[in-house]
Amino acid sequence: MINFPLSEICLESVDSTNNYLKRILKEDEPPFGISVMTKVQTFGRGRLGRSWQSSQGSLCMSIAVKNQYAEGFTLLVALAVYEALKPFCKGKPLLIKWPNDIICENKKLCGILCERASEYTVIGIGINVNDKEFFGEIKDKATSLYLLTSRRFDVKDVFTAVNTSFEKLMTEFDFSFSPKAREEYKNLCANIGKEVKTEKYTGIATDIDERGGLLVKTEEETISLTSGEVAVHGIY
Ligand code: BTN
């Protein structure tokens, strides 16, 4: 299996680009990595069992690659998407909210959902591109490239940029959350130095460990969070 260059597919609409790739992988063992995009998803899924609502202005994409499961991989994906989106933000600083939300001006620009499918990883990426407003639970929490820059973008250009950056970064780091990747991630992580809250703990986020866990210093101890929802003071 040679993952790169990724073979690209554009769909008019689909239930979920992650589900679409998982169906392909059940029937077949593609000899190459695949990246699929759509602007219309009818059953988008988010992290932690949540749904992912997207409007016609957003990019819904998923990438399937054959790789070994590596701890910290989702953080590495966030680095690749961060690099891809930077040029579209016209100097507005982007950060990563642990584990893998890309944020700007304290609002969510992109969410990432990584899932294992036998020997493959399916990486779902939802990017708010031309969205003008948001509704419901994400109303005050989300932003888009359009809202940040007052410019409309071709969703296909963002798709291409993410694929290019993903190929480059995964080739450079060989799919592993290496010390260099960890250092780069830490410098961009919005949680570090801030008060964070989970259902169980409140403390200060101090570091990222080798496995991609978020180290949080509470009054009693330092714990490593490996999954779940973490609210960051002043962000969301
Ligand atoms: C999150 O909860 O922040 C992750 C959201 C991931 C959404 C993307 S959109 C493309 C892909 N298909 C899905 O059903 N989900 C991911």
pLDDT 10s digits, 207-222: 999 999 999 999 999 9
Tokens matching residue 173 = 């780091």
Residue with the two structure tokens 């990222």: 208
Q: Which residue's alpha carbon is nearest to atom 7 within ligand 1?
A: 126
Closest atom of ligand 1 to 17 CA is: 12
Based on the domain organization, do 84 and 197 belong to the same domain? no
Residues in a beta bridge with 121: 65, 116
pLDDT score recorded for residue 136: 87
Using DSSP, state whether 3 is helix, strand or coil.
Answer: strand
Rounded Cα gap, residues 138 and 153, in angstroms: 22
Ligand 1 touching residue 97 (CB < 6 A): no
**Contact (Cβ atoms closer than 8 angstroms) between residue 79 and residue 112:** no
Q: What is the pLDDT of residues 173-183, one digit of tens each?
A: 999 999 999 99
pLDDT score recorded for residue 31: 87
Q: Is 135 exposed, middle or buried (CB count within 10 Å of its CB: 0-12, 13-18, 19+)?
A: exposed
CB contact set of 221 (below 8 Å; sequence gap of 6+) = none
Closest atom of ligand 1 to 45 CA is: 14
Closest atom of ligand 1 to 16 CA is: 14
What average pLDDT does the segment 114-123 reach? 95
Based on the domain organization, do 127 and 219 belong to the same domain? no
Number of domains the chain is built from: 2
Rounded Cα gap, residues 69 and 52, in angstroms: 25
Based on the domain organization, do 175 and 203 belong to the same domain? no
Q: What distance in angstroms lies between residue 114's CA and the mean position of ligand 1's atoms?
A: 9
Q: Is 30 exposed, middle or buried (CB count within 10 Å of its CB: 0-12, 13-18, 19+)?
A: middle
Angle between helix axes 179-188 and 73-85 (nearest 10 degrees) is: 60
Q: What distance in angstroms lies between residue 127's CA and the mean position of ligand 1's atoms?
A: 9
Based on the domain organization, do 147 and 195 belong to the same domain? no
Q: What distance in angstroms lies between residue 54's CA and the mean position of ligand 1's atoms?
A: 9
Ligand 1 touching residue 126 (CB < 6 A): yes
Ligand 1 touching residue 123 (CB < 6 A): no
Based on the domain organization, do 117 and 221 belong to the same domain? no
DSSP H/E element including 23: helix 17-27
Q: What distance in angstroms lies between residue 63's CA and the mean position of ligand 1's atoms?
A: 11
User: How many residues does this entry show for the chain?
Assistant: 236
Whether residue 110 has pLDDT greater than 80:
yes
Residues in a beta bridge with 202: 197
**Contact (Cβ atoms closer than 8 angstroms) between residue 121 and residue 114:** yes
Based on the domain organization, do 71 and 121 belong to the same domain? yes
Which residue range(s) make up the domain with 210?
191-232
Q: What distance in angstroms lies between residue 47's CA and the mean position of ligand 1's atoms?
A: 7
Based on the domain organization, do 72 and 118 belong to the same domain? yes
Task: Specify the amino acid at residue 116.
Answer: R
Based on the domain organization, do 123 and 44 belong to the same domain? yes
Q: What is the pLDDT of residues 139-169, one digit of tens each?
A: 899 999 999 999 999 999 999 999 999 999 9
> Where does the pLDDT of residue 61 fall: very low under 50, low under 70, confident under 90, or very high at 90 and above?
very high
Q: Tell me the DSSP string of 94-137.
A: EEEETTTEEEETTEEEEEEEEEEETTEEEEEEEEE-S-----GG
Based on the domain organization, do 35 and 135 belong to the same domain? yes
Q: How far is CA 169 from the centre of its chain?
A: 14
Tokens matching residue 117 = 């499918």
pLDDT score recorded for residue 8: 97
Residues in a beta bridge with 27: none
Q: Which residue's alpha carbon is nearest to atom 10 within ligand 1?
A: 60
Q: What distance in angstroms lies between residue 222's CA and the mean position of ligand 1's atoms?
A: 31
Based on the domain organization, do 131 and 212 belong to the same domain? no
**Contact (Cβ atoms closer than 8 angstroms) between residue 99 and residue 78:** yes
Ligand 1 touching residue 16 (CB < 6 A): yes
Q: What distance in angstroms lies between residue 108's CA and the mean position of ligand 1's atoms?
A: 13
Based on the domain organization, do 142 and 72 belong to the same domain? yes
Q: What CATH number does the domain containing 208 carry?
A: 2.30.30.100
What average pLDDT does the segment 177-206 reach? 96
Q: What CATH number does the domain containing 172 carry?
A: 3.30.930.10
pLDDT score recorded for residue 153: 98
Ligand 1 touching residue 74 (CB < 6 A): no
Q: What is the pLDDT of residues 27-58, one digit of tens each?
A: 988 989 999 999 999 999 999 999 998 887 99
